[in-house]
Structure 1
Amino acid sequence: MSRMMFSKTYQSFLHKFAEDKQEYGKVFLLFAYLFCVVSASTIGRTAADTLFLSRFDNSYLSLMYLPQALVMIMAGILFQRYSPKVRLESLMKILIPLISVLVLVSRFGVGLELRWVFPVIYIGYDVFNFLMIVCFWQFATSVMNQRKAKQMIGIVGSGGITGGILSGFGLKALVPLVGTANLIYFYAGLQLLGLVAVYLILSFAKETIEAKPAQPRTTTAKQAVQRKSGLFASVSHLKYVAVLSAALVLSLTLIDYQFKVILRGTLQNEALAGFMGSFYGFSGLIALFVQLFISSRILTRFGVMTALLVFPITLIAGSFGILVLPVLAMAVIVKGSDKVVGDTLYSSVSQLVMFPVPLEWRGRAKSFLDGIVRNGAKGLAAICLLIVTRLLAPEQLSYIVLVLLMIGIVAGVKVKKAYLHTLLSNLKTGGDDLQKVELNLMDPASRQILIDALSSSDKQQALYAFGLMREMDSFDLTPHLEGLLHHSIPEMCIEALAYVEQKVPDGFEAILQSLAATENNQVKAKAILALAAYAKEEYVDEITVHLEDQSVEVQAAAIAGLVKYYSIEGMFRAVGKLKQMMESGQEEERIAMAALFGQIRVKNFYKPLISLLQDSSPQVRIRALESAAILHVPPLIEPIIAMLKDSQTRRYATQALAAYDEQDILPRLAPYLKQREIGLYLPAVFERIATQSAFDMLFDCYEAANYDMRDRILESLLRMHKRLPFVDSHKVETYILHELKLHEQFAEHGASIVGIEGCADIENIIREIRTAISRRIFQLLSLIYEEKTMQAVYIDWSEGDSRQQANAEEVIDQTLRGSLRTEMTTFMSGSSAVARNSVTDMPFSEHLNWLSAKGDDWLKQAIQHLNVSKLGTSPNEDLADLMNRVHLLRHVSLFQGMTSRDLSVIARRLHKLSVQKGAIIIQEGDVGDSLMIMDGGQAGVYRNGQLLGGLKRGDCFGEMAILTQGARTATIRAEEDVLLWRLDSSVFYDMMFDQTSIAVEMMKLLSRRLRSELERGQSADKSELEQGHLEVAAALQMPETRLREGLTKDEVILRRILVLQKIDLFVHLAPEDFLWLAQRVEEVAYQPGEVICRAGDFGDTMYGIIEGSVRVHRGSEEYAVLQEGAFFGEMAIIDSGPRSADCTAKEAAVLLQLHRDLVLTFCFQNIDVLRSMMRVIADRLRGMV
């Protein structure tokens, strides 16, 4: 067993090394470089200290701290000011040889016994060591992968410890052989060896060095503000780190003085040098043990912030010991803690806290800490020593040390909040800085905007304004009703009539009578209902006449008005017509009847709806569902639930079920959550019910749900969580730990099939499952932590560069607690790829059995197919047919880039067709709405009777027809018997609603195709482009948002809503959705002729025009002029590719900006938005081709 465990560990190490070969190469070279730097520092410091202490007494020692600190401060300031002007690697190539030459020159001064040389090297060697260590860490952080820094930094740091150990023990052997003075030669030689390591690292990792990016990104407005704000504003935790560092340096300087005074009173000359060598050697050994076996455990288990406090707490304990027992042994223990804890754990932590800092500030921050703060603290300590050494005994300095360390600990505690702020500021938040607020519609200016919008010729804007105002209890719409009843937009008139029916205001009967005679049947029907609402006897005969109207809709309105408002007499008048229409076989009359029961609103009239809910016509079922939502009687629940299976009625069934009281509906829904056929659609119902009981019931079924169901549950829970903040955090953590374990198990079992012939599809499916698990983990975290932060962490961790990934991991490290934090840290720091594991204690078949049992349906089918083809098990014809269809779909260019899972979903929706030889499959000029794939036989492609080419198995046609339902461009005739697979447009769009990943991939593909056509210069006709609003670019550097003067915040948001209402893309959004969106978009103003963007720029933003117009062009060739309400840039939010055209403000313009993360999170939850975006892009592509 132990041999097997060792073998697994060894295999794991080999995999990690192979996967991160380049990173390990850099780390080992950095190990060697730091080894040389620290070894040189130890030898040089020992030589300088010994030579100085052997020639000067204690009084000179206290005097040396001040000039030493002043020189160090000056060196730090000069380094911080001038080092950014030179590339770091170039600086090191000059600085290291220069220092080596100066060291060798100092050796001659020592040999001549020049008394001034000894204090010079006492100070100078410390300056050299300081410069070398600062350069090293700046260089190391520039070449290391920041995501792996927490794991790798221990290896790098152990190079310094190893150097300290070997140089310490080496000193004891070297000093008797060569003498103290000749140690200077070794000091210079090790510096030059470090230079060799630098050259090797530069040649090994040339492409990864961050010292100065070759192509700096354009500075955004936000970044420009950051630059102006200064170092402390940009690195918010720096001030607390500086206080802690200063307190530690002050304390260590006083401790160093105590140590040297006690040491000098005991040993001299070679004995002193030998003891110091032994001290550095043994303390280095202990430090190496701490670094390898303790430091990383503390960092992983307790995090950076806790580890930051370990060193000052250790020093407090040691200083208290010196007060109690001021002997050499105690001084050695306290000084040794500097090596054992300070040079290991604290040194690593002090580097890690700088990793989240952006590159442009990191060097300045580190130079500030190392050069100014720490050396300034040494200068302050020197002044302190000059004063207190005359007043206090060496051991009494511990009182000052204890006070300083307490100040440092307080600062260390404050570091955490500021450090987390720095981490969060570097995450991708999608520009969402606004807090959710309620729109104040009682503001006079806002009310006037809505009143003006009522008379707008824009239908969506007018209807939205009316919808908002009718919900305002304190606002009286009566003075505006006459104008609304005669509005030029029929839909506005209908809404006003519904309001009249509800409120029954005095004095409008005459207008209603005139509208009841209009030619528009919808207006006429609503007018009859509104007139009936007055329930006056003089109108009953007038309403009865309409029972014989030619329009079924008007007849139904008359029936509803009589039954609803005229009691028994009305029922007597309407019953004959009602019975006649219910028995009718005409679809139009059944639709009217289905809607009628909702208009009547009498719950006892529900029974006819049961049969109407099962009608063959989708429109009848939809109207019946709308009526059921109004009546919401318990006997209708079961028939409504059955309607969730049908994609045409699903949305209406969801609304109808959500209309029930929770005590009636939740117990009836609970059993269906376990049914796979219906369960997938129930989370949307629970989301609309939106009560705490609904939330808890949905949450409780998460663990037993399959993977697809878990995705749906979490999406709904997160949206509900915005209004229902309470959640069982312990249960959430349990679910997260379960998902983490599942993620690990899939990696373990998946490792057994990596690289095996025929298993590539299974590998990909496992990768998809693990990706979905990762996404669910962060969604679960969003239930107990701030959702915006967790989403930003997930985006940075899964999509960001190494620094963003490191920041994301550190946010989790600082935010989570306990075992969850430990498991999440391990999960995020691991590799996302599954590596081949040839050493396993399970046979291959058992790994497959586990994957089949724990995987989703597609993984089970893939494994079953593998068993048939590889292991010779009994064939499954249906499965073989499905796999054949998936294989055919791989050759369809429209579906390139989709996963096998997505293709399997499409494959299940294909319909088989057989066409005899000579038959026409599609006819040129006919409207097409389907895609077809050849599975057998041959067909000819003809245009105007001319043969253009042939089709064989695997070929497809009708790719654009499935998206746009345009005219066929050619005739296809079967040249022999042909077997086809057909995919209808309606089926395809419904499928995309259930599988958003398919929709996203489709839009990415169409976007790339359109870009390709634009690059080839094949432009569509200008009129087509104006109709489709050609996609344009947005510049990386956006102007600052400028709100128009004189507008309140509510006016600004309301104005944005009214513009968003005009955008076809958002026509199906609810009022609360518009409010949510309006708060998160940004406004940007452009002057006439100002460039908004250029072709070829990369962007992640789409735009809507609030005011003004925008010219779309390429150079001097104008494609379109977009006016108020138009939108553009939507392809940027789909694939983040280069912009397709130039865009310039034709006149003064105000634009709305919607960032990619915002739109993907929000808009893709609505099938109508998906369909709208897809068709816009497909229409453009059709025009281009």
Structure 2
Amino acid sequence: MLGVRPDETRTVWLFFLHNFLLGIGTILVYVAANVILLENNPERNLPLAYGTAALAMMAAGRVYTHFEHHLVLQKLAGRVLIAVVALAGVLGALVFLGHSVAAAVAIMAGYRVIYLLTNLEFWGVSAVVFDVRQSKRLFGLISAGDMPAKALGAGLAIIIHAHTDLLYLLLTAFAAYGAALLVVQATLRSHDVEARPVGRRQRVAGTSVWQRWFGNNQLVLSICLSLTAIAAVTTGVEYSFFVNVKHKFHDQTLVMQYVGGVLALTYLLAMLFKVGLAQVTLDRLGIRRMLLTLPATVLAGLLAFGGLSWLGAGESTLLIYFCGLYLGLEVLRRAVFDPVFLVLFQPLAPPERLQAHTLAKGYYEPLGMGLAGLLLFLTASHEAIAEWLPFVWMALFMAGALYFLARTYGHYLAELQHALSQRFSLTEELRTELPDGPATAAATVLAPADLAEAQELTALLLDKKRRPAATARLLALGPVAVPALAAALRPGTSEALARRAASVAGQLRLPESRRALVALAQQPHPTRREMALRALRGFAPVAADAPIFQGLVEDELRLAQRLITGLAHLGSTGELARALDYELDRIEQRIFGLLQQLYPPQLIVDAQRGVAHAARERQANALEILDNLIPRPWYQGLQALLDVSPAAERAQVFDQLLGPLTTTMAMPAYIIQQGEATFSDWTVAVALRQHVPTLGQLPDWLPYFNSPDALLQESALTAINHLATSQHTIYDEALRLLPVLPHLLMSHHAAAAHLPAQSRVGLLRHTALFAETPENVLSSIVPIMQEVTFPAGHQIFAKGDLGASLYIVYEGEVGIFNGPQLLTTFRQGDFFGELALLDAEPRSATAVAQSAVRAFRLDQDDFYDVMEERSEVLRNILRVLCQRLRKQNEA
């Protein structure tokens, strides 16, 4: 209910308890200081206390900054709490020994220093433990720990009647800080709390003094300036509330009861909002609106004072106004602003994150309080202006905060992008100097050409030897080549030709070629859409095409809903479940490709890389970019795609976004009905083998019996052959609908001497080279596997021969020799000659069949085509080769 995941439970409650104990100690010190300060002339003493406390906090912040740079965070957190315990003891001595205004000011300054140190310690540890996504979800909850504690302390203030009671409050605070120290030690034992630097691109050096002062970081600059203004207004509102309560009641007991009641109500409301509503509100409103809620609301409240003054409101009405203004400001600041404010620092590298928080809380927040104290002190003796002037400067400060916070959101997104960008990459200036590609040359055609030549050149893209020259000529023809390329991209053309034509059209970078690729992206076949999106990467988004790509994103999300719902019924294991997981991965990749045509491409590319990254913090930054960039329903759907939670939970998310599915068709039947227009051939083949059709579903099966794809035809014939013995009615109907079926079945049986396509996929799957490659990808290798046999003693290749093929052993044994020396022996499932797939160099050893051998050969040229289409194959080969190289280096 609270959004806490099982693996986070202990961490969250440790932080909650930690904050609860800190809150008890802090509020009790606060009550003790206010009891004394409100006794005598608060109009003069409160501003004096604010100014003194500001100076003390800034000094403490400087000391903390020094140790933050010289101590690891684990040691610093413990020593800070030890210092706080000691400081609480000093304040207890002040209360016991003196009751003067000076002692009260010292106690208030001590309270503020304790508040600062506990705040820096608590958020320093939590900022390292939680990433940006967890911080958005959990900061509101863990920071709510001090709310019930402060409500309890405020309640105690109601029953305080004598100075002797204050000592007991401080002793209780002393014990609470000691308990907090124990909780921190437990937290440090169970978590790796260290602010490690991370490799990122250097920021461009700032030119202004402001930017250099804030480490060339505009996010930190805007946050610090806005926090200064908010701290000044918070101090002014608190002062106005306390002074007006004192004027209304005069009696010290009544004053403390009223102040304590308002404080208790404030903290209880803030706790309820933080725990129950903060995350929901943040999810719906987003960071930008949540940031502006506090300054906009308080600014409106401050301006309302002018209306009350103009209407001549009485003392009781003004007291209610001041009470409401203080209560509203505190609830918004603690329940809305503080958690979001802390989230803003999370995209920074851990050391920068801690330094920025210390700078904001340890220098600029006290600076705002000091400025307010100075302004209040200067106007306190001038009754004519003391009533209305503070509201003028508070309104100006809050307007400034509104301005800086409006700019903060843009800087926040820039920091997220910086966190995801490559450590070493081209600067924007260098990018603009790079040539635009072949499109530039297209405008200066060397010689006229006609459509016939372009059509002939396009057909030559299938010829491996003449493809490079044909590609170069098509790029030189420019716009003249586009109609022929567009024709090759229409439905019905071969996949290989469409892939080559899409690549050339993408390199042309012309409006005409872009239109052809957009039309290709609208075709339902997933492979063709992926071709188009890959080729469109070189084009900037075009606003006029946005509705097309928005519609395609919606289509992909609906397909994802259908597959995840199917997974929920199938379970997470099994052949079909693995195939659907692969299809969902493809949907995810296509959605990212579509988003590149709707939003700044580099942002989407960085987010896509971050989502796939192993580091949790990088994944969180990537999701945060998407959350703040794309429409909320799209983000929630994409997050459900990326989530590792059970399929049933993910299906519920899609049902809430898109509405429940209207069809109840079983997943295998749906896959067979949609066919290769939606799914890869392996997924369809698995569905064919697992599904028992009804009479009404037989027409969906008929195309597969004559499919040019060997895997699909084999799967359909194998499945219908099983029906012949178990489902006679369905089998007879199949014979009636397809009279040629017996002939196909006979041909299928006659071909049994050759290894079926499904078995070839299994063979590839059980080789180390392809063990981590999904079957959906391996099925694309099957057509280029050439079955070969060698008798015993046959030399397959000799050392020094030019190699261009990989061999996978299916039956028999192959010996690898260096001269007469036997180096190793390969058996079923082993492969050799893999380097020849990547580099046609002389063989480093001789391969001889030790017995009769049946193997499969993969030639380099064919394999390059597969790797170009399916990058997973290349990644897996590189991984295996790297493993072998490491082992060889170790040996």
Q: TM-score, normalised by structure 1?
A: 0.61
- In structure 2, what residue type is equivalent to 1:100? V
Aligned to 1:329: 320
Aligned to 1:786: 600
Instruction: Judge conservation of contact 2:266–2:327 (CA < 8 Å) in 1.
Output: yes
In structure 2, what is the Cα distance between the partners aligned to 1:309 and 1:471?
50
Please tell me whether residue 431 in structure 1 is matched to residue 425 in structure 2.
yes
Please tell me whether residue 202 in structure 1 is matched to residue 188 in structure 2.
yes
Aligned to 1:846: 666
In structure 2, what is the Cα distance between the partners aligned to 1:33 and 1:351?
17
- Cα distance change on mapping 1:864 and 1:655 into 2, 3 Å: farther
Q: Could you tell me how far 1:315 is from its partner in structure 2? A: 0.9
Aligned to 1:422: 415
In structure 1, what is the Cα distance between the partners aligned to 2:768 and 2:402?
63
- Cα distance change on mapping 1:959 and 1:839 into 2, 3 Å: closer
The counterpart of 1:339, out of the listed 323, 330, 338, is: 330
In structure 1, what is the Cα distance between the partners aligned to 2:182 and 2:160?
24
- In structure 1, what residue type is equivalent to 2:502? P
In structure 2, what is the Cα distance between the partners aligned to 1:48 and 1:947?
88
Aligned to 2:5: 17
Instruction: Judge conservation of contact 2:491–2:523 (CA < 8 Å) in 1.
Output: no
> Which aligned pairs between 1:34-433 and structure 2 lie closer than 5 A?
34-54=19-39, 57-111=42-96, 114-115=99-100, 116-169=102-155, 179=165, 181-205=167-191, 207=192, 209-211=193-195, 213=196, 230-267=212-249, 268-323=251-306, 324=308, 325=313, 327-391=318-382, 392-394=385-387, 397-429=390-422, 430-433=424-427
Q: Could you tell me how far 1:897 is from its partner in structure 2? A: 4.1
- In structure 2, what residue type is equivalent to 1:718? R
In structure 1, what is the Cα distance between the partners aligned to 2:203 and 2:646?
41
In structure 1, what is the Cα distance between the partners aligned to 2:832 and 2:394?
82
Instruction: Judge conservation of contact 2:91–2:107 (CA < 8 Å) in 1.
Output: yes
In structure 2, what is the Cα distance between the partners aligned to 1:730 and 1:471?
29
In structure 2, what is the Cα distance between the partners aligned to 1:331 and 1:951?
86
> How many residue pairs are counted as aligned between the two chains?
805
Aligned to 2:744: none
Aligned to 2:779: 904
- In structure 2, what residue type is equivalent to 1:909? I
SS in 2 for 1:980: strand
Q: Could you tell me how far 1:866 is from its partner in structure 2? A: 5.5
> Which aligned pairs between 1:1057-1072 and structure 2 lie closer than 5 A?
none
Aligned to 2:550: 733
Q: Could you tell me how far 1:288 is from its partner in structure 2? A: 2.9
Q: Deviations over 1:762-811 (max 9, x none)?
A: 55544444444333333333323333333223223322634433443444
SS in 2 for 1:265: helix
- Cα distance change on mapping 1:343 and 1:681 into 2, 3 Å: same
Instruction: Judge conservation of contact 2:245–2:259 (CA < 8 Å) in 1.
Output: no
Instruction: Judge conservation of contact 1:896–1:1005 (CA < 8 Å) in 2.
Output: no
Aligned to 1:987: 862
Q: Deviations over 1:1015-1064 (max 9, x none)?
A: 44xxxxxxxxxxxxxxxxxxxxxxxxxxxxxxxxxxxxxxxxxxxxxxxx
SS in 2 for 1:718: helix
- In structure 2, what residue type is equivalent to 1:885? R
Q: Could you tell me how far 1:43 is from its partner in structure 2? A: 2.7
Please tell me whether residue 750 in structure 1 is matched to residue 567 in structure 2.
yes
Aligned to 1:857: 681
Instruction: Judge conservation of contact 2:785–2:857 (CA < 8 Å) in 1.
Output: yes
Please tell me whether residue 833 in structure 1 is matched to residue 644 in structure 2.
yes
Aligned to 2:610: 796
SS in 2 for 1:983: strand
Q: Deviations over 1:265-316 (max 9, x none)?
A: 2344444333333322322232234324543344334432332211111111
Instruction: Judge conservation of contact 1:80–1:367 (CA < 8 Å) in 2.
Output: yes
In structure 2, what is the Cα distance between the partners aligned to 1:99 and 1:438?
57
In structure 1, what is the Cα distance between the partners aligned to 2:620 and 2:650?
31
Q: Deviations over 1:601-641 (max 9, x none)?
A: 9xxxxxxxxxxxxxxxxxxxxxxxxxxxx86444x777766
Q: Could you tell me how far 1:898 is from its partner in structure 2? A: 3.3
SS in 2 for 1:935: strand
Instruction: Judge conservation of contact 1:158–1:291 (CA < 8 Å) in 2.
Output: yes
Instruction: Judge conservation of contact 2:502–2:535 (CA < 8 Å) in 1.
Output: yes
The counterpart of 1:975, out of the listed 825, 838, 851, is: 851
In structure 1, what is the Cα distance between the partners aligned to 2:535 and 2:265?
60
Higher mean alpha-carbon deviation, 34-43 vs 271-280, is at: 271-280
> Which aligned pairs between 1:654-665 and structure 2 lie closer than 5 A?
659=477, 661=480, 665=484
SS in 2 for 1:913: strand
Q: Could you tell me how far 1:845 is from its partner in structure 2? A: 9.0
Instruction: Judge conservation of contact 1:938–1:953 (CA < 8 Å) in 2.
Output: yes
Which runs of 5 or more structure 2 residues have no equivalent in the other structure? 653-660, 693-714, 723-747
Q: Deviations over 1:577-617 (max 9, x none)?
A: xxxxxxxxxxxxxxxxxxxxxxxx9xxxxxxxxxxxxxxxx
In structure 2, what is the Cα distance between the partners aligned to 1:219 and 1:901?
36
Q: Could you tell me how far 1:141 is from its partner in structure 2? A: 0.4
In structure 2, what is the Cα distance between the partners aligned to 1:439 and 1:697?
25
Instruction: Judge conservation of contact 2:611–2:623 (CA < 8 Å) in 1.
Output: yes
Aligned to 1:541: none
- Cα distance change on mapping 1:197 and 1:846 into 2, 3 Å: farther
Root-mean-square deviation (Å): 4.3
- Cα distance change on mapping 1:946 and 1:183 into 2, 3 Å: closer
In structure 1, what is the Cα distance between the partners aligned to 2:232 and 2:40?
26
Q: Deviations over 1:852-886 (max 9, x none)?
A: 655432223344456699x9985598999223222
Q: TM-score, normalised by structure 2?
A: 0.79
Which runs of 5 or more structure 1 residues have no equivalent in the other structure? 1-8, 441-466, 474-501, 503-600, 602-629, 1017-1185
- In structure 2, what residue type is equivalent to 1:351? L
Q: Could you tell me how far 1:180 is from its partner in structure 2? A: 5.0
- Cα distance change on mapping 1:632 and 1:388 into 2, 3 Å: same
> Which aligned pairs between 1:860-939 and structure 2 lie closer than 5 A?
860-865=684-689, 881-915=756-790, 928-937=803-812
Q: Deviations over 1:528-566 (max 9, x none)?
A: xxxxxxxxxxxxxxxxxxxxxxxxxxxxxxxxxxxxxxx
- In structure 2, what residue type is equivalent to 1:138? G
Aligned to 1:708: 527
Q: Could you tell me how far 1:333 is from its partner in structure 2? A: 1.0
> Which aligned pairs between 1:491-640 and structure 2 lie closer than 5 A?
632-634=450-452
Please tell me whether residue 774 in structure 1 is matched to residue 588 in structure 2.
yes
- Cα distance change on mapping 1:982 and 1:296 into 2, 3 Å: same
Instruction: Judge conservation of contact 1:943–1:971 (CA < 8 Å) in 2.
Output: no
- Cα distance change on mapping 1:897 and 1:67 into 2, 3 Å: same
- Cα distance change on mapping 1:159 and 1:706 into 2, 3 Å: farther
In structure 2, what is the Cα distance between the partners aligned to 1:880 and 1:794?
39
Higher mean alpha-carbon deviation, 857-866 vs 707-716, is at: 857-866
In structure 1, what is the Cα distance between the partners aligned to 2:821 and 2:393?
99
Q: Could you tell me how far 1:230 is from its partner in structure 2? A: 4.5
Q: Could you tell me how far 1:930 is from its partner in structure 2? A: 3.0
Aligned to 1:544: none
- In structure 2, what residue type is equivalent to 1:185? L
SS in 2 for 1:785: coil
In structure 2, what is the Cα distance between the partners aligned to 1:675 and 1:932?
28
The counterpart of 1:808, out of the listed 612, 622, 629, is: 622
Instruction: Judge conservation of contact 2:454–2:480 (CA < 8 Å) in 1.
Output: no
SS in 2 for 1:266: helix
SS in 2 for 1:426: helix
Higher mean alpha-carbon deviation, 325-334 vs 899-908, is at: 899-908
Instruction: Judge conservation of contact 1:147–1:829 (CA < 8 Å) in 2.
Output: no
